Amino acid sequence: MSFPLYAPAEEHHLLRETVRALADEKIAPHAAEADETEEFSWDVYKALVAADLHAVHVPEQYGGAGADALATVIVIEEVARACASTSLIPAVNKLGTVPLLLSASEELKSRYLAPVARGEAMFSYALSEPEAGSDAAAMKTRAVADGDAYVLNGTKMWITNAGISEYYTVMAVTDPSAGARGISAFVVEKSDEGVSFGPKEKKLGIKGSPTRQVILDDVRIPANRMIGDPGTGFKTALATLDHTRVTIAAQALGIAQGALDYAIGYVKERKQFGRPVADFQGLQFMIADMAMKLEAARQLTYHAAAKSERAMNGEPQKDLTFLSSAAKCAASDAAMEITTDAVQLLGGYGYTKDFPVERMMRDAKITQIYEGTNQIQRMVMARQLLK
């Protein structure tokens, strides 16, 4: 499908209406509970699957909806507006599977993308380690060839939906002498012998999505589960992030939109000094700034999504790395500011769990950290500009 670089097409607008209606009805009512109990909501997952919104990016040839990158952004954005934790279902399914879409054999794609498309399995992405976060190339997880298999040992950290997902894209060192060029990518299954998970991290936000270590203890997998050629794993990991940073930007947009919408409704109802607080210019300026920052980030994100779509379709986009970093950085910084201001606009109520904006503020923080901190994004952007 071709579409203008910025403007969503008619079907994108219809998709937004569909997702928003589902999110308002099936997702938003459970958001506070998921935050409180810190439990993954299978009911919400089933509602997404029933509407075919859990992994919209999977191409039609593997049984997926075949949504373009902009449509995927809109789905994540609208789900995040209701519940940031739930938006990690479509976002992380994309993160886990993009390495396959970019680099895997046809056999691997068919085998692993079809169950994800059907909603029978989720896919997580295992790159970070306790000592390898921003410096991901310093990873210690090893994959040693043994006949027609590889044996994996190591610990992956901060893995979203770990223990829930059936499948994991795991980066491991196959040639310790080759640095970043000695890293390969593999598909590991939850049911593989030797795979276990650490305890759930106790987090500030996104509590309805478990984050755990993935522990690999002599995990033996067939060699044909390598994604791409030996030594290409780190290149695949970086190329993946060019596409998926855009989905984190989308999540940030959704969280910010949810907070802005709630704050606008509140200031129009709340009265002080005998009039709605929306009548006071100081608050009007805050609302105007929040909406302006959000819309600027949205346009940048949609532009990056259009570039991502073209790149996935085999048209190289030399500015995709810059744009995806810029979108992720701008949208997450905006989300943190907007949610913080939303709490301020609600005054004392904003600081209580009776209202959703404090949750949105906590949820927004992670968007500045994961899939590359915003400090790393600025380094990536500067390198692109200066090379």
Active site residues: 371
Residue with tokens 């910084």: 333
The backbone torsions φ and ψ at residue 152, rounded to the nearest 5 degrees and listed phi first, read -105, 135
Q: Is the Cβ–Cβ distance between 219 and 193 less than 8 Å? A: yes
Instruction: Report the alpha-carbon distance of residue 176 to residue 162 in Å, rounded.
Output: 27
Instruction: Report the alpha-carbon distance of residue 34 to residue 363 in Å, rounded.
Output: 12
Structure tokens at 218: 């002599």
- Residue 102's alpha-carbon distances to 116, 158, 184, 232, 256, in angstroms, are 16, 23, 14, 11, 31
Task: Give 132's DSSP letter.
Answer: B
Instruction: Report the alpha-carbon distance of residue 80 to residue 277 in Å, rounded.
Output: 27
Structure tokens at 288: 């105007």
Residue 230 parent element (H or E): none
| Residue spans of alpha helices (H) in the chain | 10-22, 28-37, 42-50, 69-82, 84-103, 106-118, 233-269, 281-312, 320-345, 357-367, 374-386
CA 84, distance to chain mean position in Å, is 10
